[in-house]
């Protein structure tokens, strides 16, 4: 039956993990996938997660029954507060339809599916994606019949934000366009708008009646501060820009494999939110029936207990600060010791898990082939893959690749 099925290429990010694992070279480095590693290059189980795992194991009241279709209630409400702020007007006015999802990817999918069915499109369904963006965004929207179309975001000369290009695209877009925005720690560039720039972006979005599709996969990871990293989302909610938020706990709780996430659709009234929630529930039922319970229980315990919450915040700081210090170390090696040609300020100016080095696909491939350093072709590096033991090896080879 499947003679006509073409062979698909492997996923551009996860193929790097496979190749890295299979590589016997002792000094190999994996800066491909965005997954946190400690200074020993090991996955880090957050101490607070270890603690709540033990609590769950010893809880005789827990079973393996189905969760409600929209997820664990105490998880969903706490997750909404975390991203929107506990004093959010949208929450006090009961205007948020929240659903537990299969991590951030599932939230993106459910949000896209909902839009594909119910958004009042101005013409053909199109989503505007930053150029560049997480490669999976293209596939997720295409899967539900929404065509992706880039907007300018990154400026290759400044290795920073193409602010004028971005604002121009917002102004030129047909009214009621859907713009996917990275809430913080833009993937793959690590380049975020400033608070003033977000304000101007919101102005144009309101003027044109655009819809903000926020993807928030790195709350806490950008600055080490959960509230600060939620600025854009909360500001847009305050300004009443129509929006939804996709939320992931993969990175900030180190729960990659547990697939804990949520989708929050902000509505204008409680009644509208009730209708939206009812349709999200119908869509969720046909896709996954009920979301998984374990990860949601873990996160719910952390979010709903003040001591555990404080402990989690400390764990997040541990991760964010290691990444910030490794940025500085890399910057110092390149600029002071190796005197690598070019300007490397972006290494310390960019935020979050990733750095967009500015090297081209040929140079990236040279790093893979010659130095066993695994990174995506666009020159993105996951800073978490660097540590005190491999940073010199990485910097020296980046230097070589840049010199050609």
Catalytic residues: 134, 215, 251
Two tokens, residue 351: 């935020």
- Across 42-75, b (16+ Cβ under 10 Å) vs e yields eebebebbebbeeeeeeeeeeeeeebebbbbeeb
Q: In the chain, what is the straight-line distance between the N-terminal and C-terminal CA atoms, in Å? A: 49
Query: Binders of ligand LMR: how many residues, by CB under 6 A?
Result: 6
Closest distance to ligand LMR from the beta carbon of 345 (Å):
23
Closest distance to ligand LMR from the beta carbon of 218 (Å):
9
Q: Which is nearer to ligand LMR, 162 or 215 (CB)?
A: 215
Q: Which is nearer to ligand LMR, 136 or 281 (CB)?
A: 136
Residue numbers 1-20 binding ligand LMR by CB under 6 A: 13
What's the DSSP call for residue 37? B
Q: Which is nearer to ligand LMR, 107 or 276 (CB)?
A: 107
Residue nearest to ligand LMR (CB): 34
- Residues 12-19: contacts with CB under 8 Å, at least 24 apart: 12/135, 12/376, 12/377, 13/135, 13/376, 16/374, 16/375, 16/376, 17/374, 19/368, 19/374
Q: Which is nearer to ligand LMR, 187 or 350 (CB)?
A: 187
Closest distance to ligand LMR from the beta carbon of 261 (Å):
12
Closest distance to ligand LMR from the beta carbon of 118 (Å):
27
Two tokens, residue 297: 């229980």
Closest distance to ligand LMR from the beta carbon of 14 (Å):
7
Helices and strands (H and E) in the chain: how many: 16, 13
Residue numbers 120-159 binding ligand LMR by CB under 6 A: 134, 136
Q: Which is nearer to ligand LMR, 13 or 144 (CB)?
A: 13
Residue numbers 208-237 binding ligand LMR by CB under 6 A: none
Q: Which is nearer to ligand LMR, 187 or 363 (CB)?
A: 187
Residue 34 sits in the site that holds ligand LMR (CB under 6 A): yes
Two tokens, residue 335: 């600029």
Question: With the CA atoms of 370, 324, 182 and 275 taken in that order, what torsion angle do they form, in degrees rounded to the nearest 10?
Answer: 130
Two tokens, residue 174: 């047909």
CB 49 within 8 A of CB 250: no
Place of tokens 């090991």: 42
Place of tokens 């949520």: 262
What's the DSSP call for residue 204? H
Closest distance to ligand LMR from the beta carbon of 83 (Å):
18
Closest distance to ligand LMR from the beta carbon of 235 (Å):
24
In this structure, the number of other CB atoms found within 10 A of the CB of residue 289 comes to 10
Q: Which is nearer to ligand LMR, 13 or 69 (CB)?
A: 13
- Residues 320-324: contacts with CB under 8 Å, at least 24 apart: 320/220, 320/221, 320/222, 320/223, 320/224, 321/224, 322/38, 322/39, 322/384, 323/221, 323/352, 323/353, 323/383, 323/384, 324/224
What's the DSSP call for residue 43? B
Q: How many residues does the chain have?
A: 404
Question: Which stretches of the chain bind ligand LMR, using CB under 6 A?
Answer: 13, 33-34, 134, 136, 187
């Amino acid at each position: 039956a499947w003679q006509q099925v073409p062979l698909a290429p492997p996923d551009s990010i996860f193929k790097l993990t496979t190749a890295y694992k299979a590589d016997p070279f002792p000094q190999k480095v994996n800066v491909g996938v965005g997954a946190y590693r400690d200074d020993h290059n090991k996955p880090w189980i957050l101490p607070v997660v270890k603690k709540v795992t033990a609590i769950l194991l010893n809880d005789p009241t827990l079973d393996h029954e189905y969760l409600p279709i929209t997820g664990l209630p105490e998880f969903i409400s706490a997750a909404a507060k975390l991203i929107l702020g506990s004093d959010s007007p949208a929450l006090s006015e009961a205007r948020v339809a929240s659903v537990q999802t299969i991590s951030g990817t599932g939230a993106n999918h459910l949000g896209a599916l909902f839009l594909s069915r119910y958004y009042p499109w101005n013409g053909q369904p199109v989503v505007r994606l930053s150029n560049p963006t997480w490669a999976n965004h293209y596939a997720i929207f295409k899967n539900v019949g929404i065509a992706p179309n880039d907007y300018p975001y990154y400026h290759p000369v400044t290795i920073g934000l193409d602010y004028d290009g971005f604002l121009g695209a917002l102004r030129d877009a047909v009214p009621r366009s859907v713009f996917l925005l990275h809430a913080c720690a833009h993937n793959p560039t690590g380049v975020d708008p400033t608070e003033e720039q977000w304000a101007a972006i919101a102005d144009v979005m309101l003027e044109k009646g655009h819809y903000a599709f926020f993807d928030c996969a790195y709350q806490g990871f950008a600055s080490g501060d959960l509230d600060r990293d939620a600025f854009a989302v909360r500001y847009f909610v305050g300004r009443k820009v129509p929006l939804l938020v996709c939320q992931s706990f993969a990175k900030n709780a180190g729960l990659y494999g547990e697939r804990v996430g949520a989708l929050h659709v902000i509505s204008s009234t409680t009644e509208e939110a009730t209708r939206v929630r009812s349709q999200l529930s119908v869509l969720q039922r046909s896709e996954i029936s009920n979301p998984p319970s374990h990860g949601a229980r873990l996160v719910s315990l952390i979010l709903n207990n003040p001591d555990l919450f404080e402990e989690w915040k400390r764990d997040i700081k541990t991760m964010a600060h290691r990444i910030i210090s490794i940025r500085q170390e890399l910057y110092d090696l390149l600029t002071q010791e190796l005197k690598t040609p070019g300007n490397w300020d972006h290494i310390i100016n960019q935020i979050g898990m990733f750095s967009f080095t500015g090297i081209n696909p040929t140079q990236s491939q040279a790093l893979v082939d010659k130095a066993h350093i695994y990174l995506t072709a666009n020159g993105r590096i996951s800073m978490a893959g660097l540590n005190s033991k491999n940073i010199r090896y990485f910097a020296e080879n980046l230097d070589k690749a840049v010199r050609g």
